[in-house]
Chains A and B, each alone.
Chain A
């Protein structure tokens, strides 16, 4: 019989977190969480006090994305918990392992509209993988163990634990199970053998195959197997925003990102391919464009750990439920085994076609311009960090330029809010990423609109020794909103102008927080500013005043098919604009 230690609920929580190997918690205390923070004070777990609970959730999310570990955030009941909601939804949409712990009013007060009471489990139900309202202190060790197990396995996601204050104060005899007991939760990791063989045959028989890679490939650590599959079979690769880094972007087989702001090459390839091999991607509307005209010639192999994603938007001819790495490993073996029995068509024409698209339609912008172009700033950050920095982004134009011009060759270097599109994600995520990987250079490529949504986390960065570098591509607008208004709403810039001349002074703001601020208005000053930021031991904010009306191109207009790309040098937008404006779109 193992000695079962008597302790309080709060002690059991912290002990359970320690047993899960938690090294860092992002959060803010409050009334009903005081018993927990009292115990945390004496725990070796690092506590990072953010300035807003949304910052705590995003920092835990950024930490999780950068390290592959479960991120942990904590907030008090009521407003603390509701402030976490955006961050939890963000992690849910991007399948990020997160455990959120919220305080709750005492069990006898639940349902009475008590002070700082909110129905946290009810509010978060649609945006978590699972959640718990703990009513008995004795349940705490099992609940924490289950929460971490659920968060990190299968298709990862956020799990919330709501902890009433009397449960934290109550007593229990600590006992931890060897394994969590979850009769309804058994993720399928190994792909069905017959399906894998079907996929192998389809790949061998395909003339124009494309690998379409999403965030699942990064989550499962499938990069090595992915590269084998691509190289051994000469399959061109395109990636989603979430899949950036799963396959080296400098690789000759990489076509870059696809979708709304993807490369022409990648989008044209989707229109022409006869076989899509989807790895951990979910055919989101930003990827497919007009669904009825998506990849009209293609059969689809869909590999995903979540069966509900397969066949949801696009019919899968060969569905394979399983962990991407495991399935690709089996698939590579099956292909090698079957290669002699199946006659493979010659793919040289396909490669030549793709090469010609790449050469004809590179991502580009007006490089000769005297004005400071945002793409140039991203290119210089890429060059001066040798593409080795962890790059977080905000959401909107800054995000798309970062995705287009900061090319990465390894997973977990590019961190961005994909599914939810949360402005304000980048700065706290960068702090979390840096605290998780303290040896790395971490940039937040930001917009002036987005960054102001969580700018208070500069205080966290300063105090916690997270010298992140915030590069604001300051165009004085909610840039992507302005771009859509320009293209689809007759240039009526309704509520999208932020008036950068008047406020804020980002340099002064950075200094007010104890960070370093640099302003850049000339292209020739860009390198010096970036180098200065890299050398500074503290957080640095660089306020790049870029061309205010620069657009992200090329672009598939919402609701348009992938081949219909507008607005780069080939199709100047002014020519496209009038008829586009009349078309209905999503």
Chain B
């Protein structure tokens, strides 16, 4: 079962290494991990997607909490949180396929951020499922390169 953990950490050197090392050592699998700044310069937020059973999730949370630089961990419920991911995809196009690809990009409310004679770079934001659907649709045209940011998320309201 996949869980999205939102982890607030002190913005100090080595924090990412500590978290990554902990997951490796305890044998927990990370699906994705995104780190970035928050509204406070001294605090960073890690959004970690883990694929573990309920019992192991408890261990993940408890072990993470033992890291001195970890301030808070929230297991985000998809019902009450907003999650987004961004993909950059360099899609092969030629004269004939270009308009078709642009159509797909429009449907996904994506942006074309770079154009060249043989390819375009597309930026799409959304849930992981939406990005997956987009990827599946443009794959037949040829994906030359692709990168996803990993999920970032916030709880709704309050």
Interface residue ranges, A against B (CB under 8 Å)? 121-122, 125-126, 129-130, 133, 150, 182-185, 306-308, 311-312
**Structural contact, B71 and A184, CB atoms closer than 8 A:** yes
User: How far, in Å, is A186 (CB) from chain B's closest CB?
Assistant: 10
Q: When chains A and B are docked, how far (Å) is the Cα of A126 from the Cα of B26?
A: 10
**Structural contact, B14 and A184, CB atoms closer than 8 A:** no
**Structural contact, A150 and B68, CB atoms closer than 8 A:** yes
Q: When chains A and B are docked, how far (Å) is the Cα of A182 from the Cα of B62?
A: 18
Q: When chains A and B are docked, how far (Å) is the Cα of A184 from the Cα of B55?
A: 23
* Interchain CB contact (< 8 A) of B10 among A121, A122, A183, A312: A183
Q: List 15 A-B contacts (CB under 8 A).
A: A126-B21, A126-B25, A129-B68, A133-B14, A150-B68, A182-B68, A183-B10, A184-B68, A184-B70, A307-B65, A308-B59, A308-B65, A308-B66, A311-B58, A312-B59
Q: When chains A and B are docked, how far (Å) is the Cα of A539 from the Cα of B10?
A: 49
User: Quick check: is B18 within 8 A (CB to CB) of the other chain?
Assistant: yes
Interface residue ranges, B against A (CB under 8 Å)? 9-10, 13-14, 17-18, 21-22, 25, 55, 58-59, 62-63, 65-72
Taking A306-B66, A307-B65 as given, write out 13 further A-B residue pairs in contact, using a Cβ cutoff of 8 Å, ordered by the A residue number.
Answer: A121-B14, A125-B17, A126-B21, A130-B68, A133-B13, A133-B14, A150-B68, A182-B68, A183-B10, A184-B68, A184-B71, A308-B66, A311-B58
User: How far, in Å, is A182 (CB) from chain B's closest CB?
Assistant: 6
Q: When chains A and B are docked, how far (Å) is the Cα of A445 from the Cα of B40?
A: 55
Contacts of B65 in A (CB 8 A): 307-308
Q: Is the interface of B mostly helix, strand, loop or mixed?
A: helix
User: How far, in Å, is B139 (CB) from chain A's closest CB?
Assistant: 40
Closest to B10 in A: A184
Contacts of A129 in B (CB 8 A): 66, 68
Q: When chains A and B are docked, how far (Å) is the Cα of A126 from the Cα of B67?
A: 11
Q: When chains A and B are docked, how far (Å) is the Cα of A486 from the Cα of B71?
A: 51
Q: When chains A and B are docked, how far (Å) is the Cα of A183 from the Cα of B72?
A: 9
Most buried by A among B14, B17, B55, B68: B68
Q: When chains A and B are docked, how far (Å) is the Cα of A306 from the Cα of B59?
A: 12
Contacts of B69 in A (CB 8 A): 184
Contacts of B62 in A (CB 8 A): 307-308
Q: When chains A and B are docked, how far (Å) is the Cα of A512 from the Cα of B62?
A: 51
Closest to B66 in A: A308
Closest to A309 in B: B62
Contacts of B9 in A (CB 8 A): 184
Most buried by A among B63, B66, B67: B66
Closest to B68 in A: A130
User: How far, in Å, is B12 (CB) from chain A's closest CB?
Assistant: 9
Closest to A182 in B: B68
Q: When chains A and B are docked, how far (Å) is the Cα of A121 from the Cα of B22?
A: 14
**Structural contact, B63 and A308, CB atoms closer than 8 A:** yes
Contacts of A122 in B (CB 8 A): 17
Contacts of B72 in A (CB 8 A): 184
Closest to A129 in B: B68
User: How far, in Å, is A481 (CB) from chain B's closest CB?
Assistant: 27
Contacts of A183 in B (CB 8 A): 10, 71
Contacts of A150 in B (CB 8 A): 68
Closest to B12 in A: A132
Q: Which 8 A-B pairs have the closest CB atoms?
A: A308-B62, A184-B71, A130-B68, A185-B68, A184-B70, A307-B62, A126-B25, A183-B71
Q: When chains A and B are docked, how far (Å) is the Cα of A276 from the Cα of B129?
A: 47
Q: When chains A and B are docked, how far (Å) is the Cα of A130 from the Cα of B68?
A: 7
Contacts of B10 in A (CB 8 A): 183-184
Q: When chains A and B are docked, how far (Å) is the Cα of A306 from the Cα of B22?
A: 16
Q: When chains A and B are docked, how far (Å) is the Cα of A129 from the Cα of B21?
A: 13
Q: When chains A and B are docked, how far (Å) is the Cα of A185 from the Cα of B13?
A: 17
Q: When chains A and B are docked, how far (Å) is the Cα of A312 from the Cα of B26?
A: 12
Q: When chains A and B are docked, how far (Å) is the Cα of A122 from the Cα of B24?
A: 14
User: How far, in Å, is A181 (CB) from chain B's closest CB?
Assistant: 10
Q: When chains A and B are docked, how far (Å) is the Cα of A288 from the Cα of B63?
A: 22
Q: When chains A and B are docked, how far (Å) is the Cα of A183 from the Cα of B12?
A: 13
User: How far, in Å, is B42 (CB) from chain A's closest CB?
Assistant: 9
Most buried by B among A122, A150, A183, A311: A183
**Structural contact, B67 and A184, CB atoms closer than 8 A:** yes
User: How far, in Å, is B59 (CB) from chain A's closest CB?
Assistant: 6
Q: When chains A and B are docked, how far (Å) is the Cα of A311 from the Cα of B65?
A: 15
Closest to A310 in B: B62
User: How far, in Å, is B41 (CB) from chain A's closest CB?
Assistant: 14
Contacts of A312 in B (CB 8 A): 59
Contacts of A126 in B (CB 8 A): 21-22, 25
- A125 touching B18 in the complex, CB below 8 Å, given contacts A130-B68, A133-B13, A183-B71: yes
Q: When chains A and B are docked, how far (Å) is the Cα of A454 from the Cα of B17?
A: 33
Contacts of B22 in A (CB 8 A): 126
Closest to B69 in A: A184
User: How far, in Å, is A148 (CB) from chain B's closest CB?
Assistant: 13
User: How far, in Å, is B71 (CB) from chain A's closest CB?
Assistant: 4
Contacts of B18 in A (CB 8 A): 125
Contacts of B67 in A (CB 8 A): 184
Q: When chains A and B are docked, how far (Å) is the Cα of A150 from the Cα of B69?
A: 12
Contacts of B63 in A (CB 8 A): 308
User: How far, in Å, is B21 (CB) from chain A's closest CB?
Assistant: 5
Closest to B42 in A: A183
Closest to B15 in A: A184
User: How far, in Å, is B13 (CB) from chain A's closest CB?
Assistant: 7
Q: When chains A and B are docked, how far (Å) is the Cα of A130 from the Cα of B21?
A: 13
